[in-house]
Amino acid sequence: MAPSRRKFVQGCLAAAGAAALDRLGLTRGSAAQAGTLAAEGISGEERGPSYLEMERSGELERREQALWAMFEACRLCPRQCGVDRTAGEKGICGSAETFKIASYGPHYGEEAPLVGRRGSGTIFFSHCNLLCVFCQNWEINHLGEGMRAGHADLARMMLELQNRGCHNINLVTPTHLVPHLVSALRLAIADGLRLPMLYNTSGYDSLEVIRLLDGIIDIYLPDFKYQDATVAARFSQGAPNYPGHAAAAIKEMHRQVGELRQIDGVAQSGLLIRHLVLPENVAGTDGFVRWVASELGPDTHVNIMGQYTPQYQAHKHPSLSRPPTREEFAQAMQWAREAGLRHFH
């Protein structure tokens, strides 16, 4: 690692990791010796999110370092750009070494188990690694509009959302910023964060990164946008490998957290997949619901969404230039029933 790059990564780790451990009254050496809460006979409900125990055991710091190691020649997502983001280089997502936040606050527009009574604590990050031509948030995702922020800022936002009564921390478009998110999470843990972490993604995620998030993320909320490589390449900035990577990542998410688990109608953990119905079955909805039923099981929670309208550059593509008809959406729901899915809406 060149000195400047080493300095950047070490600076990020020092700013987040060391401070977090210090505020917990732990050193790196003592963290490994601290013992686990499980060994102390404390139940899962009392423990709270598993990232707390990972912090105490030192495992969260190890994951953080592994994620930062993927940032230098960036391979955080299936694009595998290989750019040195620590040196300010940008890959396809357009995000360099720092990050921007478009907005944050309690959000009531997500699915009911995520919103509960007091809202989902949503943080919208700028830039995106998938870049669909029909993006509804194109100013944020394509143009990168937002305010620059640091790890301490992000940690403060998480804590503010917790203090405002939100049920979870909902990280929207997080894929290109995972090392930053874990560094900020460690700061927030030190100051009392206890909410479930929700990973709200396009589904264009690296299996290696998702494996590193095992135990850190409580609720996964991935899209599964397309089943066909040609469609993915045409409508998502040349990403023909989207279907394969999304399928692998979602299977791993399901392995980690299983079905959506709720208490009093509020999600605590689990997987919920979103699928946007596109006109002319461009999204391959019949194949999607069959895949869910066969690979994950009929009890998987699925939101089949019918609200597509042409946005951004969609008008350049005839098959995306109108909303799906009522008949097309009814057909999508019928396919879900025929596939045997039990928890879709």
CB closer to ligand SF4, 94 vs 106: 94
Q: Which letter does DSSP use for residue 114 in this model?
A: H
Q: Is 76 in the site for ligand SF4 (CB under 6 A)?
A: yes
Contact range with ligand SF4 by CB under 6 A, out of 9-17, 29-37, 74-82, 181-189 = 74-82
CB closer to ligand SF4, 75 vs 107: 75
Closest CA to 24 of 62, 65, 53, 63: 53
324 Cα distance to chain centroid? 27
- Residue 144-183 contact track with ligand SF4, rule CB under 6 A, x = bound: --------------------------------x-------
Residue nearest to ligand SF4 (CB): 91
Rounded (5°) CA angle 154-155-156: 90
H/E segment holding residue 343 = strand 343-344
Q: Is 126 in the site for ligand SF4 (CB under 6 A)?
A: no
Q: How far is the CB of 78 from ligand SF4 (least distance, A)?
A: 7
Residue list 84-123, contact with ligand SF4 (CB under 6 A): 91-93, 95
CA within 13 Å, CB half, 265: 7
Cβ neighbours around 327 below 10 Å, total: 8
Q: Is 74 in the site for ligand SF4 (CB under 6 A)?
A: yes
Q: How far is the CB of 99 from ligand SF4 (least distance, A)?
A: 11
Contact range with ligand SF4 by CB under 6 A, out of 77-85, 187-195, 246-254, 327-335 = 77-85
**Cα first-last separation, the chain:** 49
Q: How far is the CB of 327 from ligand SF4 (least distance, A)?
A: 37
Q: How far is the CB of 179 from ligand SF4 (least distance, A)?
A: 10
22-55: b (≥16 Cβ within 10 Å) or e: eebebeeeebeebeebeeeeeeeeeebbbbbbbb
CB 172 within 8 A of CB 200: yes
Please identify which residue in 33, 36, 80, 163 interacts with ligand SF4, judged by CB under 6 A.
80
CB closer to ligand SF4, 83 vs 216: 83
Q: How far is the CB of 217 from ligand SF4 (least distance, A)?
A: 17
Closest CA to 228 of 244, 216, 212, 213: 244
Helix (H, G, I), strand (E, B), or coil: what is residue 339? helix
Report the interface residues with ligand SF4, using CB under 6 A. Answer: 74-77, 79-81, 83, 91-93, 95, 129, 176
